[in-house]
Copies of this chain bind each other. A is one copy, B any other.
């Protein structure tokens, strides 16, 4: 449709395609709500008010119409689904645009992984904007599948869906002026540069902001967020599966500062997405528990986010903007009943009304490349006492414990009775033969093993088990799946979730993914004896060597506090 056609329909000389009547418009520009009509031509709103005629008219029965929601920051891979099925989960909740950092798939497949996300988004019905992943790999104490420098990232700038640089987690690199980091900032100068700086304060925070970083989504306290707001950073309040910042940060929001605050989910597992929703869930909590004005809460998930990311075609209902609409009945608990994207009805009462195209999985190579000759879980005893990772429920940080090793026949072995399990990280990208080995406390398996290829941020193959045979069964099972999660006991595979897309995402419907994950959790708890709600999620962070205190990567144990590798035996 040309602008000429759009203007002709707007002035009423030609009919619109769709006219929505009998509605209450939520105006995020002015803060008021009023009855009116919305005329749509093609993908755009062309008129608001009376006097329009259209090929189709829909009576909305007095319901509220707000702009389609925008998630300011999400790693789609955490849904364990490729973009089309992720879009099912969020579109049905009124989210019509997301800004994603494809950091996980980038750590496996590099630029090809990012391009896969961009391509497969076409099979969904979501506007998926990409921020180029800035920290691949996270550190040099791991082996990731790719290494992306500024020149690599710059090749993405031709794509109109790539709009900025994703969370610069290497905040010390910014603050101390690391050349490679500054090259990335420079490559994306003039575009949004997202931040990630938990706890950064004072002059270091000034330095981070002075470098041009415009946002942060890692705040955990009002005080922290307020300092960042004052220094000009936009705050994305996050409510993830593994990080619950919404309720602690709600007191931050005031009429004076709310324009500088947005909502984001960061990482959400399928069950949370399906049961609670996306940022619509945050809006409901903000209204109900935080006492936020509903229009303010909606604006934080629409106009504010659109303006921060300079997406001037959305985030509000106005002539010329996209007809992305979030239709609901209860102003105090907005829940999507109808969702339009680009003028098309895409969801009704929690179900999609359109057909998704499957992701182009074959575009990506098989991602499991292991040198099995080098894989041996045995640990010759080289002393009496070992470092043990102390996993803490619902926390990403670990304890750095020193324990007596259980020695059998000259080898250090797992000791399930003391909840000391063996853990291994098998490099799976380049068949290097790297296998990091160690022990972990707090996972609680009484027998068998669990394994998976979701292991932030390098996503090598992680195995935790009570005996070496179960661990080998688990590792081999994961390879057979082409990546994924498994629970095994001896030679028996008890449950599995294939994640063939980079070892991170399924190509199946999200309901199936959720059911398989539920089955894995059930088996881990009831057949293997784990005491954790989700030992797979816990496992996925035990190899992340940027979060204290002791972690295991494919190169071995890392003392994160000293930021250097350490031996297993002390």
Interface size class of A (residues with CB under 8 A): 35 or more
Q: Mark A153-192, 1 if CB is under 8 A from B, else 0.
A: 0000000000000000000001111000010011000000
Q: Mark A1-37, 1 if CB is under 8 A from B, else 0.
A: 0011011101110000000000000010111100000
- Is the Cβ of A210 less than 8 Å from the Cβ of B46? yes
Contact partner, A321, options B7, B8, B176, B232, Cβ 8 Å:
B232
Contact partner, A48, options B206, B295, B310, Cβ 8 Å:
B206
Please indicate which of the listed interface residues A10, A12, A202, A210 has the most CB atoms of chain B within 10 Å of its own CB: A210
Known contacts A3-B211, A210-B10, A256-B30: A232-B319 contact under CB 8 Å: yes
- Is the Cβ of A49 less than 8 Å from the Cβ of B186? no
- Is the Cβ of A256 less than 8 Å from the Cβ of B295? yes
B residues within 8 A CB of A260? 29-30
Q: Does A257 contact B (CB under 8 A)?
A: yes
Q: Mark A32-56, 1 if CB is under 8 A from B, else 0.
A: 1000000000001111110110000
Min distance, Cβ A533 to any Cβ of chain B, angstroms? 38
Min distance, Cβ A308 to any Cβ of chain B, angstroms? 10
Which residues of chain A in 437-473 are interfacial with respect to chain B, using CB atoms and an 8 Å cutoff?
A: none
- Is the Cβ of B320 less than 8 Å from the Cβ of A212? yes
Q: Does A230 contact B (CB under 8 A)?
A: yes
Contact partner, A229, options B30, B204, B212, Cβ 8 Å:
B30
A202 vs B319: C-alpha distance in the bound complex, in angstroms? 12
B residues within 8 A CB of A230? 27, 29-30, 32, 48
- Is the Cβ of B256 less than 8 Å from the Cβ of A211? no
A176 vs B14: C-alpha distance in the bound complex, in angstroms? 12
A60 vs B186: C-alpha distance in the bound complex, in angstroms? 35
User: Chain B: which residue is nearest A190 at the CB level?
Assistant: B312
A46 vs B182: C-alpha distance in the bound complex, in angstroms? 16
Q: Does A493 contact B (CB under 8 A)?
A: no
A3-B182, A51-B202, A255-B256 are known; give 7 further A-B pairs, CB within 8 A: A8-B177, A10-B211, A30-B260, A31-B257, A44-B210, A47-B207, A231-B319
List 3 A-B pairs, minimum CB-CB distance, nearest first: A31-B256, A232-B318, A210-B319
Chain A to chain B contacts (Cβ below 8 Å), 25 pairs: A3-B186, A7-B182, A7-B211, A8-B177, A10-B203, A10-B206, A11-B176, A11-B204, A11-B206, A11-B207, A27-B230, A30-B229, A30-B256, A32-B256, A48-B206, A48-B231, A52-B203, A209-B318, A209-B320, A211-B320, A231-B319, A232-B320, A232-B321, A307-B307, A310-B310
